[in-house]
Structure 1
Amino acid sequence: MMLITKRKKIGAICGHTIYAISKSETIPILKSPIQSNMAYSKNEKRYKKLLSTVDLTKDFFFSYTYNVMHSLQRNLCRNETGLVHYESMFVWNEFLTLGIRNTLKNSLWTVALVYGFFKQVKLSISGENIFQTLIARRSRHYAGTRYLKRGVNEKGRVANDVETEQIVFEDVLEGCPTQISSVVQNRGSIPLFWSQETSRLNLKPDIILSKKDPDYEATRLHFENLVMRYGNPIIILNLIKRCEKNLVKLFFVQSLRKPSDLSIKAYPKITV
Structure 2
Amino acid sequence: MTGPIVYVQNADGIFFKLAEGKGTNDAVIHLANQDQGVRVLGAEEFPVQGEVVKIASLMGFIKLKLNRYAIIANTVEETGRFNGHVFYRVLQHSIVSTKFNSRIDSEEAEYIKLLELHLKNSTFYFSYTYDLTNSLQRNEKVGPAASWKTADERFFWNHYLTEDLRNFAHQDPRIDSFIQPVIYGYAKTVDAVLNATPIVLGLITRRSIFRAGTRYFRRGVDKDGNVGNFNETEQILLAENPESEKIHVFSFLQTRGSVPIYWAEINNLKYKPNLVLGENSLDATKKHFDQQKELYGDNYLVNLVNQKGHELPVKEGYESVVHALNDPKIHYVYFDFHHECRKMQWHRVKLLIDHLEKLGLSNE
Please confirm whether the aligned pair reaches a TM-score higher than 0.5, indicating the same fold.
Answer: yes
Residues in 1 aligned to 2:152 and 2:191: alpha-carbon distance in whole angstroms: 32
Q: Which residue of 2 aligns with 1:236?
A: 301
1:107-130 deviation digits (Å, cap 9, x = unpaired) = 321211100112322222211221
1:11-42 deviation digits (Å, cap 9, x = unpaired) = 112111111112222222359xxxx9xx9577
**Structure holding more helix per residue:** 2
1:46-195 equivalences in 2 (<5 Å): 46-55=110-119, 58-79=122-143, 81-82=145-146, 83-105=148-170, 106-170=175-239, 177-195=246-264
Which of 104-113 and 15-24 deviates more?
104-113
Count how many residue pairs are aligned between Structure 1 and Structure 2.
259
Residues in 1 aligned to 2:113 and 2:179: alpha-carbon distance in whole angstroms: 22
Whether the 8 Å CA contact 2:157–2:181 is kept in 1: the answer is yes
Q: Which amino acid aligns with 1:182?
A: S
Q: Which residue of 1 aligns with 2:272?
A: 204
**Structure 1 120/199 Cα, relative in aligned 2: closer, same or farther at 3 Å?**
farther
Q: Which residue of 1 aligns with 2:290?
A: 224
Q: Which amino acid aligns with 2:259?
A: I
Whether the 8 Å CA contact 2:131–2:151 is kept in 1: the answer is no
Query: Matched residue of 1:54: which SS?
Result: helix
Q: Which residue of 2 aligns with 1:6?
A: 75
Residues in 1 aligned to 2:271 and 2:121: alpha-carbon distance in whole angstroms: 31
* Equivalent residue for 1:22, pick from 48, 70, 91: 91
Which of 142-151 and 215-224 deviates more?
215-224
**Structure 1 44/57 Cα, relative in aligned 2: closer, same or farther at 3 Å?**
closer
Whether the 8 Å CA contact 1:238–1:268 is kept in 2: the answer is yes
Whether the 8 Å CA contact 1:20–1:57 is kept in 2: the answer is no
| Distance apart, 1:215 and its partner CA | 5.8
1:24-76 deviation digits (Å, cap 9, x = unpaired) = 22222359xxxx9xx95776544323212233585210011101111111111
**RMSD after superposition:** 2.6
**Structure holding more strand per residue:** 2
| Identity value in percent | 29
Query: Matched residue of 2:113: which SS?
Result: helix
Residues in 1 aligned to 2:303 and 2:281: alpha-carbon distance in whole angstroms: 22
Query: Matched residue of 2:114: which SS?
Result: helix
Gaps in structure 2 of 5+ consecutive residues: 1-69, 341-347, 349-364
Whether the 8 Å CA contact 2:262–2:281 is kept in 1: the answer is no
Whether the 8 Å CA contact 1:86–1:94 is kept in 2: the answer is no
Q: Output the TM-score relative to the length of structure 2.
A: 0.65
Query: Matched residue of 2:286: which SS?
Result: helix
Q: Which amino acid aligns with 1:7?
A: V
Residues in 1 aligned to 2:144 and 2:283: alpha-carbon distance in whole angstroms: 31
**Structure 1 245/53 Cα, relative in aligned 2: closer, same or farther at 3 Å?**
closer
